[in-house]
Structure 1
Amino acid sequence: MTQARKFFGGGVAVVTGAGAGIGAGLARYAAGTLGMTVVLADVDGASIARLRKELEDGGAQALDVVCDVRDPAALEHLAERTRTEAGPVRLLVNNAGVEQFGYLWDTPVENWERLVRINISGVFHGIRAFLPDMLAHPGQSWVWNLSSIGGVSTAPLQAPYIMSKHAVLALTECLHQEVELSGHAGHVHIQAVLPGAVASDIFETAGGVRSGDVTAAEEQRSAMLHIKAQAMDPVRAAEVLFSQAAEGEFYLMTQPAFVGGAMAARGDSLTRRAAPALPVGGRLQPAY
């Protein structure tokens, strides 16, 4: 038995943004390999219904709940259905997220607000809805908040997304301290997930700009799509993350050398108090 199956096997996992990408990969691995009951949450009801059927056809137990993480009441509803239909949560994955391309001054206000409400407030709402019960329950449990390699780096033409991932990382680091301060660190484990390139549709569905330098925004989208073919399989990414989580790591990285290199570079630039520099080759710098 692997350490991951020892800790997570048989428990309940709740995954927001489970309809595609790394969210779906985490759900597939949790259900198919670890034997977890998986609660699939997403605004795309058709996608999570298909995934639930796939998991159930494979012998797993799953529940799909349409949920918009921008709405705190929707997260409360998700938590209530999980309590009554699945049981105590062993793993909460606050994963739902969206991208945005373009110069910051060209970004539509509604795109900015949508991204902030999903990428940042969605994590907060998930914590508010689920964490109190997890703290009260005596069993071991885990909270994973999805940051990104973008949470420890910078990139032009993706400022809203990068900002949001820095925010999620800081939120998670503070939450880790608060759980320890409140005396719950022995049974509730807070971990930050920093994916590198993992296959997903986030770039296709990303917001763009309607005016200003539309070309720059779409060139950045194209650059990100170009590397998608070399991105990591989401189920393989899930395997790596679960293994690190079981080992007690705080920073969970899909590609430890790549993401770790970005962390080291960030630390070095802060130590030197160096202004952010454009990447070699120009403005089209991948960030995930």
Structure 2
Amino acid sequence: MSIEQEVFGSGVAVVTGAGAGIGSGIARRLGQLGMHVVVTDIAGDRAEAVAAAIRAQGGRAEAQTLDVSRPAELDRLAADLFRRHGAVKLLVNNAGIETIGFSWEVPAERWETTLNVNIHGAVHGVRAFVPHMLKAGQPAWIANLASVGSFGVMPTQTAYIMSKHAVQSFSECLFLELQMAKAPIRVSSVIPGMLKTSIFDEAGGKGEPPAASHHRKVMRELMSTYGMDLDEGCQRIVAQIAEGRFWVSTQPEMTTGMIAGRVDFLTRQTDPTLSEQARHLLES
């Protein structure tokens, strides 16, 4: 029996933003392993489609419509699931959105939505679920979706990048807090590199700056050409979470390179600069 099957062969898993992309891939993998997967998404039809696909392959899944930017919805979900199931073994705070444009051109509403989903979704997911996990007293796992962008910069993707820096630091502090509390809960920071997802497909709401469409097109083409297969990436993610790793990377060499660049920048304390690859992307 593999470590994945041993750890995640049973129990309840909650995956936010699982109607598409990495969330859907993680949910499907957990369903294959034997968990009862609670597939949540702001679009209920997308959540149900993923849940139905898991059930069609013999797995167990239910769909829940959830807006992670609303803390009360996370509170209600946590209370309901612990009431019905007694425990939640794995919480994956995956929900996230991409926003593109110069910081001063992104509408205030889009700024608020991005930070509320990407940062507060993870924060309030933890706040809502951990008290129930502690009360249940059983081993549990929490995985927060960061990014290789957590260790770099990219102008015009500022809202997304800063949110992922925040998720990374939140996960590090949470890891230490749960250690201090002597809680049987493991924390992972999930650091996807470039996976083939639809994150750059949809425009970032009303009023998205015109130049954003070009940036999205370039990023879509890069993902299509160089991205890792989604299912392969999600299998790697689930396996590393099961192993109890804090650092969970789909492409470790990419993560290592981004961190090395960040360390060099912080050590030398120079002005921020763009890598040649990033410069080419923005100028193409």
Whether these two folds match at TM > 0.5 is yes
Q: Which residue type is aligned with residue 249 of structure 1?
A: R
Amino acid at match of 1:258: M
Instruction: Tell me, yes or no, if the aligned pair for 2:188 and 2:241 is still in contact at 8 Å.
Output: yes
Q: Distance in 1 between matches of 2:228 and 2:77?
A: 29
Structure-1 residue corresponding to 2:256: 260
CA deviations on 1:41-68 (whole Å, 9 max, x unpaired) are: 1011111111111111211111111000
Secondary structure, aligned partner of 2:115: helix
Q: Secondary structure at the match of 1:105?
A: coil
Aligned partner of 2:216 among 218, 221, 228: 221
RMSD: 1.8
Partner of 1:102: 101
The Cα of 1:151 is off from its aligned counterpart by: 0.7
Quote the Cα distance in structure 2 between the aligned partners of 1:284 and 1:85: 52
On the 8 A contact 1:196/1:259 being kept in 2, the answer is: yes
- The equivalent of 1:21 in structure 2 is 21
1:196 paired residue number? 193
Amino acid corresponding to residue 19 of structure 1 in structure 2: G
Q: Which aligned pairs between 1:58-97 and structure 2 lie closer than 5 A?
A: 58-97=57-96
1:163-218 Cα offsets, whole Å, 9 max, x none, are: 0000111111111111111121xx2001111111122221112417848x623x22
Q: TM-score, normalised by structure 1?
A: 0.92
- Distance in 2 (CA, whole Å) between partners of 1:62 and 1:200 is 22
- CA apart distance, 1:246: 2.7
Task: State the percentage of identical aligned residues.
Answer: 40
Aligned partners of 2:18 and 2:102: how far apart in 1? Answer: 29
Q: Which runs of 5+ in 1 are unaligned?
A: none
Q: Which consecutive unaligned segments of at least 5 residues does structure 2 have? A: none
Q: What is the letter of the counterpart of residue 222 of structure 1? A: K
Equivalent positions of 1:91-240 (< 5 A) are 91-184=90-183, 187-207=184-204, 210=207, 214-215=210-211, 217-229=212-224, 230-240=226-236
- Secondary structure (helix, strand or coil) at the match of 1:74 reads helix
Query: 2:280 and 2:124 mapped to 1: Cα distance?
Result: 33
Aligned pairs for 1:2-41 within 5 A? 2-32=2-32, 34-41=33-40
Question: Are 1:75 and 1:125, in contact at CA under 8 Å, matched by a contact in 2?
Answer: yes
Alpha carbons of 1:261 and 1:169: their partners in 2 closer, same or farther (altered >3 Å)?
Answer: same
* AA at the equivalent of 1:142: W
Question: Per chain length, whose mean CA-contact separation is higher, i.e. which structure has more relative contact order (CA < 8 Å, sep 6+)?
Answer: 1
Count of residues in Structure 1 that have an aligned counterpart in Structure 2? 281
Quick one: structure 1 residues 182 and 155, their matched pair in 2 at CA, closer, same or farther if it must change by over 3 Å?
same
SS at match of 1:244: helix
- What SS does the corresponding residue of 2:91 show, helix, strand or coil? strand
Cα deviation digits, residues 57-101 of structure 1 (max 9, x gap): 211111111000011111112112322334411110000000111
Q: Is the 8 A contact 2:16 2:95 kept in 1?
A: yes
Query: What residue is the counterpart of 2:49 in the other structure?
Result: 50
- When structure 1 is superposed on structure 2, of 65-74 and 264-273 the one drifting more is 264-273
1:284/1:115 Cα in 2 relative to 1: closer, same or farther (>3 Å)? farther
Shift of 1:249: 1.8
